[in-house]
Amino acid sequence: MNARLFLSLASILALAQPSSAGPTTPKGHLIIHGGGALTSDVIDRFIELGGGKNGHLVYVPTSLEDEPAAELQTVPDYLRPQAFGTVTLLHTRDPKIANSDAFIAPLQTATAVWFSGGRQWRTMDAYLQTKTADAFHAVYHRGGVMGGSSAGATVQGSYLVRGATEGNHIMMAPGHEEGFGFLPETAIDQHAIVRQRLDDMIPVIQRHPQLLGIAIDESTALIVSGGVATVMGKSKVALYDSRLWKDREPHYFFLEKGQRYDLAARRRLP
C-alpha cells in the first residue's frame, strides 16, 4: 500500500491547530457548492472573482469516475468557459506527474480553479502532498478563486469526509481523511438536505470537536472571502460547532441565503 495514502501523525495533529489570521490570510476566494445545478448568481460570482476575459480558468475533473478526454470541449458548459480569456484542463491520476514542474505550469497563471464532482478520494490520491497541491494553494493565496461542487466542495476542507474508496456512505475513512485545507479546521459535506445527510456530520464533529462542520444543500454555495462566508443559491447551509452543543438539539444550525458568518470568530454577522 502506498504510504502517502495515510495521514502522518503530524498531519493529524495539524487538523487540531488553530488557523492563523492577519497577514497569512489568503487574498483569494472560495466557492464551495453543495452539488446539483449551479444557479446563475453563483457562477456569475465565480467568473467575476476569476477575472473573466482577463482570467485563466483551470478545470480539474480528477474526481470523475471516467477518464476525461484531454480536449477543452470536456470543460462543462455550466462553467461558461467562453467567459474566460484562457481555459486549461488539468488532470492526472499519477502523483509522480502531479509532482512535476511541467504539469503545474498552467497553475502559475491561473486565476480560477474548479474541481469537478465525483469521488473526492480520486482527487486527493492524485494531488495530495505534491507540487500540484502547493500550486493550488498558491493560486488561492495570491488572489485567485477556488471553486468546486459536490466532491469538489469536500476537497476544500481540511478533514475529508466520505473519502472511503468502498463507498461514499462512510464518513470517516482512515487513509482518506485529509483535504486540501483551503478552509482550515473544517469538514465539508454536500447534497445535505436533498439526500437527508444532516445527521451524518455529527459523529465526525464528536470525534474531531475542533472542526467546524459544514453541510451544504444542492444548488447552494458558501462563498468565502476575507474570512467571511456568505450563502448564495437556492437553499441553505448547516453548521456544526461543538462548542454550542450543550443542551442543544439538533447539533446544527442553518445559514439562509444571504446570511454571513465570521469563520474565525464562529459567529453570524448582521
The string of pLDDT tens digits covering residues 114-129 is 999 999 999 999 999 9
pLDDT exceeds cutoff 80 at 33? yes
Cis preceding linkage at 184, omega within 30? no
Residue 23 confidence (pLDDT): 36
pLDDT exceeds cutoff 90 at 1? no
pLDDT exceeds cutoff 80 at 32? yes
Confidence of residue 207 (pLDDT cuts 50, 70, 90): very high
Residue 71 confidence (pLDDT): 72
Confidence of residue 12 (pLDDT cuts 50, 70, 90): very low
Mean pLDDT of all residues in 65-73: 79
- Secondary structure, 3-state, 65-111: CCCCCCCHHHCCHHHCHHHCCEEEECCCCCHHHHCCHHHHHHHHCCC
- Cell numbers of 179, please? 483535504
Residue 242 confidence (pLDDT): 96
pLDDT exceeds cutoff 70 at 15? no
Residue 248 confidence (pLDDT): 74
- Strand order across the beta sheet in which 237-240 lies: 157-159, 183-189, 212-216, 237-240, 253-255
Asked if 223 contacts 34 with a C-beta cutoff of 8 angstroms, the reply is no
- Listed in sequence order, the DSSP H helices in the chain are 9-15, 40-49, 95-98, 101-104, 120-127, 131-141, 151-154, 202-207
Q: In whole angstroms, what is the distance from residue 9 CA to residue 178 CA?
A: 12
Sign of the torsion formed by the C-alpha atoms of 196, 200, 202 and 208: negative
Closest by CA position to 154, among listed 114, 112, 129, 190: 190
Residue 246 confidence (pLDDT): 81
Task: Give the relative orientation of helices 120-127 and 131-141 as an angle to the nearest 10 degrees.
Answer: 100
Residue 42 confidence (pLDDT): 98
Confidence of residue 7 (pLDDT cuts 50, 70, 90): very low
Domains of the chain: 26-269 (3.40.50.880)
Q: In whole angstroms, what is the distance from residue 84 CA to residue 74 CA?
A: 15
Residue 254 confidence (pLDDT): 97
- Strand order across the beta sheet in which 260-262 lies: 86-89, 56-60, 112-115, 145-149, 29-33, 220-225, 228-233, 260-262, 267-269
Asked if 200 contacts 174 with a C-beta cutoff of 8 angstroms, the reply is no
Q: In whole angstroms, what is the distance from residue 172 CA to residue 175 CA?
A: 9
Of 69-78, 84-93, 118-127, 227-236, the one with minimum mean pLDDT is: 69-78
- Percent of the chain scoring above 70 in pLDDT: 91
Asked if 154 contacts 35 with a C-beta cutoff of 8 angstroms, the reply is no
Mean pLDDT of all residues in 134-146: 98
Confidence of residue 72 (pLDDT cuts 50, 70, 90): confident
Q: In whole angstroms, what is the distance from residue 21 CA to residue 130 CA?
A: 25
Residue 24 confidence (pLDDT): 56
Residue 233 confidence (pLDDT): 97
Confidence of residue 69 (pLDDT cuts 50, 70, 90): confident
- Cell numbers of 263, please? 469563520
- CB proximity list for 203: less than 8 A, separation 6 or greater: 171, 172
Residue 13 confidence (pLDDT): 36
Residue 125 confidence (pLDDT): 98
